[in-house]
Structure 1
Amino acid sequence: MTIASDSEPAMPLDGVTVLELGHIVAGPFCTLLLADLGAEVVKIEHPEGGDSVRDSSPVGNSSFNYVNRDKLSVTLDLKSEGGRTVFERLLEESDVLVENFGPGTVERLGVGYEDLRVNRPELVYCSIKGFNRGPYEGYPALDPVAEAMSGLMSVTGNPGQPPVRVGTSIADMTASLYGAIAILAALRQRETTGEGQKVEVPLFESTVALMGYWLAYTEAYDAVPEPLGAGHPNWSPYDVFRTGDESWVFVGPSSERQWVALCEALDCSLHEDERFDSAEARRANAEELDAILHAEFRRFETDELLELLRDAGVPVAPVNDTRAVCSDPHLEATDALTTVEAVEGDGGTVRVPRFPVLASGFPRITSSDPPRLGADTEVILRALDYTAEEIEALREQGAV
């Protein structure tokens, strides 16, 4: 089934139809990645309200407008006979289903993998849940639950302060990325076997994977890392510093060459001081070194320091807020953001990130706006050969 225009250049997932039974971030971000690769994504929502973050709050609206671009919206009541019939006809035309409802929800609705594989054995079915099957599988889960349990929250923030979560939905989006990778692998495998499969993607274990080298550190050295702030115990200096105009910059020379270049750029001889003349010495005297550098960096305005250190080949970056990111000249030059019409909240156009990968074999798609609730229901029903009278009957029943 192809509803969208076929005027775009060829994409890797052309001809692949994805059904999304998703809400909030994890499911919708996974299917967004597939849409960015050319799949046609049909977002199935309940007729009364739809995705739970639709028109929920400024942050919820913004989340919806980002992760739901490039999709079609169909409203179906899966508990109704008519809605279930439409769903089954949609399923016949589909290759992939992605869901991130709570444990047991799709089974209660009769749309779990075991229910659907009987008539659609070619289906690739992706479930994004809090935990893999095991002792925790029935626990309620959110992004911060995974961050807390994975150890990520324990290393985020500053020493002596309460643990904090990462400032975006990192666990949800990490699971989404693993989900998209697994779906692509399952589609590739289907080319050989002719069979679909179920892939189960957990927030918890996916976030644990991000902590891999810290887990290896604990296992090898019987030590537990403290909250890191903006630093890293492997290097010094490696932190954020105030500049003369009260802005923050990150400075992180991670090699001896970069450390010498930093000192020469600052016109100081710290690299000749025995307290700081090796990586080991700098780690041992990190607090003293940071105090000296804080004073050094205060001599410069932010733009002056950035230019000085970049020219010297030293890793340095301004700590941008989101307004600065939205106006970043590099993102502008690389066409990294796309403009869509916001359908939730106050409306108007907003710029959101595009698929960040550049490939020589396929382009980045031209994004479409996130869909209004049920905006594509009639078009899709007609594509499934429903007549106008049948569509009206389904509406009267509340099935769509």
Structure 2
Amino acid sequence: MSAGALDGIVVADFSRVLAGPYATMLLGDLGAEVVKIERPNTGDDTRAWGPPFDPNGTATYFNAVNRNKSSLVLNLGDSGDRDRALELVRRADVVVENFRSGTMERLGLGYEDLRRVNPGLVYCSITGFGDKGGASLPGYDLLVQAVGGLMSMTGPEPGAPTKTGVALVDVLTGLHALVGILAALRHRQLTGEGQRVDTNLLSSLLSSLVNQGSGYLGAGVVPGILGNRHPSIAPYEVFPTSDRPVALAVGNDRQFADLMTALGRPELVHDPRFATNSARVAHRDELTNVLDTSLAAHGADYWFATLTAVGVPAGPINDVAEAVALAENLGLEPTVRVPGSDTAQITNPITFSRTPVRYRCAPPALGNDEPE
């Protein structure tokens, strides 16, 4: 079997729910040994977050972010179990935790405590709102979407703020944590020095607002809810067809010209209302009327095939089953059977030419101290 990029790296994973476990699962996919520390009896909260449940009765939510790990049950309030945690830390390269700020310090497992045990340790702490003014605030994805601005621009119409369909802020924070851990491991490789890495849900969300955040800071524009419309590009939204909606993502004038030709309206390419992107944004309602009428002639699959063939970004609104089928048709191998699991999982999206991702074991049973 080919070596993983992180073979030999040991991760003591004190995290639970989503952001931390997602980061540590990715570390495990890359070859790291990940030991998940769980509470007695219940383990990670997400073991019970169902339905749906897999055939063994474990919530599929838990399975989504916990492959390639073993499970070690410890009561961190017990001195003997805390000593066992310290034994693990002594041989670990990375610690990941997402307790409320101050919890690990009260347990004697904070960064300053652990660096004395293991000076080369990379210690990653994930919180909801940082460890200063927001230390007491609970870090739930929905809450951060609400107070962090994302819901203020997401929804079908003004006055109807809506969360995303997945816990997107947790996923983004887990990715930021992963980047920080990998950078700290590189620094340790060069200098021998460990360090503390901190990230939080609110800061990760603000960073991920990208153009919307920049529009506020650079031009004073506070974005609002536009439904499926884009604030700066048109047409870049969802339109009805004769059967189901289709998304159009027209990013430049050439694509717009090809779209109008495919719709049988080439004369509109040079119409002053639509000749440039800025003009199309300014006259979005008139353009929408044209597109609604033209697209009604056929169904979404027809327009997907027809427009894609001429280089216009378009696609139907797939459900998850259809999305997986599309990825399979494109040869992306979106699912994998993990040893020891009765169900498939979504694959890691990164491929390597020399150090491939490996799927060594299924999400662990509670207290399964060694990988299967």
Interval of TM-score (by shorter of Structure 1 and Structure 2): over 0.9
Per the alignment, residue 253 of structure 1 pairs with 250
SS in 2 for 1:73: strand
> Could you give the per-residue CA deviations for residues 48-102 of structure 1, whole angstroms, max 9, x where no partner exists?
1100111332268222011001111111222223312222222222111101112
Q: How does 1:1-400 map to 2 (within 5 A)?
A: 8-58=1-51, 61-245=59-243, 247-269=244-266, 270-330=268-328, 333-340=331-338, 348-349=342-343, 351-376=344-369
Question: How far apart, in 1, do the equivalents of 2:50 and 2:245 lie?
Answer: 30
Q: Is the 8 A contact 2:11 2:93 kept in 1?
A: yes
SS in 2 for 1:327: helix
SS in 2 for 1:19: strand
> Could you give the per-residue CA deviations for residues 174-214 of structure 1, whole angstroms, max 9, x where no partner exists?
11111111111111111122121111111100110011322
Q: Is the 8 A contact 1:22 1:100 kept in 2?
A: yes
Question: How far apart, in 1, do the equivalents of 2:21 and 2:211 lie?
Answer: 29
**Structure 1 length normalisation: TM-score?**
0.86
SS in 1 for 2:117: coil
Q: Is the 8 A contact 1:98 1:125 kept in 2?
A: yes
> Could you give the per-residue CA deviations for residues 111-155 of structure 1, whole angstroms, max 9, x where no partner exists?
111221112111111110012233223222211222222221111
Question: How far apart, in 2, do the equivalents of 1:109 and 1:161 lie?
Answer: 44
Whichever residue aligns with residue 17 of structure 2, its letter is I
Cα 1:210–1:25 shift into 2, 3 Å: same
Deviation at 1:285, TM superposition (A): 1.3
Question: How far apart, in 2, do the equivalents of 1:342 and 1:163 lie?
Answer: 41
Cα 1:124–1:329 shift into 2, 3 Å: closer
Q: Is the 8 A contact 1:153 1:165 kept in 2?
A: yes
Question: How far apart, in 1, do the equivalents of 2:214 and 2:49 lie?
Answer: 41
SS in 2 for 1:333: coil
Where do 5+ consecutive residues of structure 1 fail to align?
1-7, 381-400
Deviation at 1:104, TM superposition (A): 2.1
Question: How far apart, in 1, do the equivalents of 2:305 and 2:103 lie?
Answer: 55
Q: Is the 8 A contact 1:338 1:367 kept in 2?
A: no
Per the alignment, residue 393 of structure 1 pairs with none
Number of aligned positions between the proteins: 366
Question: How far apart, in 2, do the equivalents of 1:42 and 1:356 lie?
Answer: 23
Question: How far apart, in 1, do the equivalents of 2:214 and 2:327 lie?
Answer: 39
% identical aligned pairs: 38
Deviation at 1:306, TM superposition (A): 0.6
Whichever residue aligns with residue 316 of structure 2, its letter is P
Question: How far apart, in 1, do the equivalents of 2:249 and 2:288 lie?
Answer: 11
Question: How far apart, in 2, do the equivalents of 1:200 and 1:222 lie?
Answer: 29
Question: How far apart, in 2, do the equivalents of 1:230 and 1:368 lie?
Answer: 40
SS in 2 for 1:83: helix
> Could you give the per-residue CA deviations for residues 352-375 of structure 1, whole angstroms, max 9, x where no partner exists?
222111222321213521111012
Whichever residue aligns with residue 81 of structure 1, its letter is S
**Structure 2 length normalisation: TM-score?**
0.93
Whichever residue aligns with residue 153 of structure 1, its letter is M
Question: How far apart, in 1, do the equivalents of 2:253 and 2:212 lie?
Answer: 24
Per the alignment, residue 56 of structure 2 pairs with none
SS in 2 for 1:259: helix
Q: Is the 8 A contact 1:331 1:337 kept in 2?
A: no
SS in 2 for 1:176: helix
Question: How far apart, in 1, do the equivalents of 2:308 and 2:222 lie?
Answer: 34
Whichever residue aligns with residue 228 of structure 1, its letter is L
SS in 1 for 2:46: coil
Cα 1:186–1:321 shift into 2, 3 Å: same
Question: How far apart, in 2, do the equivalents of 1:199 and 1:329 lie?
Answer: 35
Question: How far apart, in 2, do the equivalents of 1:138 and 1:287 lie?
Answer: 46
Q: Is the 8 A contact 1:150 1:211 kept in 2?
A: no
Where do 5+ consecutive residues of structure 2 fail to align?
54-58
Per the alignment, residue 3 of structure 1 pairs with none
SS in 1 for 2:113: helix
Question: How far apart, in 2, do the equivalents of 1:29 and 1:289 lie?
Answer: 42
Question: How far apart, in 2, do the equivalents of 1:329 and 1:281 lie?
Answer: 35
Question: How far apart, in 2, do the equivalents of 1:75 and 1:280 lie?
Answer: 58
